[in-house]
Structure 1
Amino acid sequence: MDSIDCIVIGAGVVGLAVARALAQAGREVAVVESQKAIGMETSSRNSEVIHAGLYYPTGSLKARLCVQGRDALYAYCMERGIGHRRCGKLVVATSPEQLGKLNAILTQAHANGCSEVTAISAEAARNLEPALSCVAALHSPNTGIIDSHAYMLSLQADAESAGTAIAFDSRISRGRHAHGGILLEVISGDGDLIELQADTVVNCSGLWAPRIAAMIDGLDAATIPTAYFAKGSYFALGCKAPFSHLIYPIPEAGGLGVHLTLDLGGQARFGPDIQWLDDTDIAAIDYRVDPSHAAAFYGEIRAYWPDLPDGSLQPAYAGVRPKISPPDTPAADFLFASHGSPHYLGLYGIESPGLTASLAIADHAASLLGILPDKHRI
């Protein structure tokens, strides 16, 4: 049996950020990852957007950590030379009936500390984006895009430079409280069973987080959240997009609507839609994009870009959001929970804006573990 100070479960963007924060604070850290490389699930299947923090309920963890994490992420990218661009976005109302919702988003954004967000007229929006159709818009200059893989590689390098070891192709089979900590049984890709004793376990396994928590004896099972999975598909644009800003419609239930995002090469993509999955076998999730979904995409996109050419959408990729609120209910806040154990911290429901907030999420987790002071520089 090997003993270690901290075990982080999951090597997605949040797990890597948490491992980095703990290791740089002087803790001995190992990361256990079931995939063969970093960021193979939710972290590599998203819009790669740096969110400004407009939409989330004021005072929520999503609102606070998004704004803090956004600023920290821009600074980190500048320092490390990670590809990113603060391109800004427009949130558009495409009918007079949506103006009330647009104004409510503006009020929410200002309450969240995003005072730079402004309401602009349809004419002003078209001056920024001549191909755009809307009756009014919000301009968010602090929204941006990032090379998320380069970012994760940098986090991995930071963590490993501070002594972190990462075990890929290794999955948790069970755990229990023992010897003043938590004993985890880990199965390697070769089928070997390894026992790891940790003073502290941080569960950052995304889609798997509730299931892994349920595997650890000694946690209060009644407080472990239920997992819900929302698949979102993306379509790529097969021609050059006439936009330089990200374009977002009014949010819909469960997400931010089918929006237009750009990568650092200028390639446009649209998504995600929402498909709630009944099958909770995470390992069997089908990430293929159904080409027939394009029909609905054309209708939603043409509400703000009427000149979208026929036949220009091509299936790109899909991701699944690790939700802890069921369909037709308000999206749950990020959840950090110990389930009554001084040796465990679980991170649940870390969907958008998890990428943006990742550095702030890591520092918040470390603070909850008493590894960093409550107030510190991110």
Structure 2
Amino acid sequence: MDSIDTLIIGAGALGLACAARLAQPQHSTLIVEAETLIGSHTSSRNSEVIHAGLYYPPGTLKAELCLEGRERLYAWCEQHRVAHQRIGKLLVAVSDAERGTLEHLLSNAQACGVDDLQPLTQRQLQQLEPAVRGAAALLSPSTGILDSHAFLQSLLFAAEQQGAQLVLQTRVDTLEQHGDGWIATGTSAGEAFQLKAQRVINAGGLFAQQLAQQTSGLAAAQIPPLHLCQGRYFSYSGRSPFQHLIYPLPQANTAGLGIHATLDIGGQLRFGPDVQYLDTLDYQVDEQLREPFAAAIRRYFPDLDASRLTPGYSGIRPKLSGAGEPAADFLLQGPAEHGLPGLINLFGIESPGLTASLAIAERVARVF
């Protein structure tokens, strides 16, 4: 049986960030990915936003790792020449009734350590973004965008430079404790395999719980429920009327941040995501969603031309909280939590997971 030092399961942003952080020439590191491409699910199906860390409860992993990850991510993009831009974000109160919510978000962000938010009057908002309707706004200059695909490739390249290997079309079905390590059993390109690893990182994203349920010694109570939450996007043809990212205020009792306007590195404007809980993976975007999207967007962009909206793509958030439940934090579960040496499970890494990926990898490295 082949034996390696580190097995990383999942080649999304988390798995690749862990590989880039942990790989060393004198230690064997293997990354396995069930799909034919890296980052096939959540890591490549999102807004590609570098989040500033405004929304999360102070003291949570989401709050701490977003701030730390934001700075690590900007530095990484500079060093590895990954296309990115500190484009800035406007968080808009569309009416006077929302001013209190805007002030609460400002206080929350400051409590989390975000110290560069700039309150804007209606006139200042109009000067920055004439097409946006709002009574007041917050400008977040630390919010940015990046080419997520280039980021994933840069992580893989960095890991491979240190000797890590990637194997695609490879699924781990079970993990079993064996002596001082773990035996992973699964299939690779249709062929059964087994290998032994001293340490294992379950960075399976949407499939992390599925593997955890087939991990020997891991109690059922240690495996959080998975809630699939779809977010759909529409593209907006033609030139963008915005210079910044435009976010409405989060709606009460929902699982998202509202249908916002984002730009990609190429300047393409898109709107989304919405929120829809699912029972099974589904990446379809129905054309009939155009009017509900248009109604939400017109709250802050009244001159929207709905005929320019076309179905784009969707992503699935691996949430640990269900519809109507309070948002759950990231769960980084190591031996101190589950009592199993050499194993780390990463559960519920949704937004701001891409922003936090390098910071999460640093936390994983501390455990090992």
Q: Which band: TM-score by shorter chain?
A: over 0.9
Q: Deviations over 1:326-359 (max 9, x none)?
A: 1111111110113221121000110000111111
Match of 1:301 in 2: 297
Inter-partner Cα distance in structure 1 for 2:215 and 2:204: 14
Q: Does 1:337 align with 2:336?
A: no
Shift of 1:325: 1.0
| One-letter code aligned to 1:236 | S
Match of 2:264 in 1: 263
Identity %: 48
Map 1:177-192 onto structure 2 (within 5 A). 177-189=177-189, 191-192=190-191
| One-letter code aligned to 1:34 | A
Map 1:81-100 onto structure 2 (within 5 A). 81-100=81-100
Q: Is the 8 A contact 1:106 1:118 kept in 2?
A: no
Structure 1 residues 346 and 317: alpha-carbon distance in aligned structure 2, compared to 1, 3 A threshold: same
Q: Is the 8 A contact 2:68 2:359 kept in 1?
A: yes
Shift of 1:239: 2.1
Match of 2:364 in 1: 365
Shift of 1:286: 2.2
Point out where structure 2 has 5 or more consecutive residues left out of the alignment: none
> 1:215 aligns to what SS in structure 2?
coil
Inter-partner Cα distance in structure 2 for 1:78 and 1:161: 18
Structure 1 residues 24 and 66: alpha-carbon distance in aligned structure 2, compared to 1, 3 A threshold: farther
| One-letter code aligned to 1:326 | G
Select between 26-35 and 135-144 the one with higher mean Cα deviation: 26-35
Inter-partner Cα distance in structure 1 for 2:64 and 2:4: 32
Structure 1 residues 187 and 263: alpha-carbon distance in aligned structure 2, compared to 1, 3 A threshold: same
Inter-partner Cα distance in structure 1 for 2:38 and 2:171: 14
Match of 1:275 in 2: 276
Match of 1:376 in 2: none
Shift of 1:28: 2.3
Map 1:1-378 onto structure 2 (within 5 A). 1-24=1-24, 27-189=27-189, 191-252=190-251, 253-279=254-280, 285-338=281-334, 339-369=338-368
Q: Is the 8 A contact 1:220 1:340 kept in 2?
A: no
Runs of 4 or more consecutive aligned structure 1 residues displaced over 6 Å after TM superposition: none
Shift of 1:24: 4.3
Shift of 1:368: 2.0
> 1:16 aligns to what SS in structure 2?
helix
Point out where structure 1 has 5 or more consecutive residues left out of the alignment: 280-284, 370-378
Inter-partner Cα distance in structure 1 for 2:64 and 2:28: 29
Inter-partner Cα distance in structure 1 for 2:161 and 2:25: 12
| One-letter code aligned to 1:164 | A
Q: Name the TM-score, length of structure 2 as normaliser.
A: 0.97
| One-letter code aligned to 2:87 | C
> 1:296 aligns to what SS in structure 2?
helix
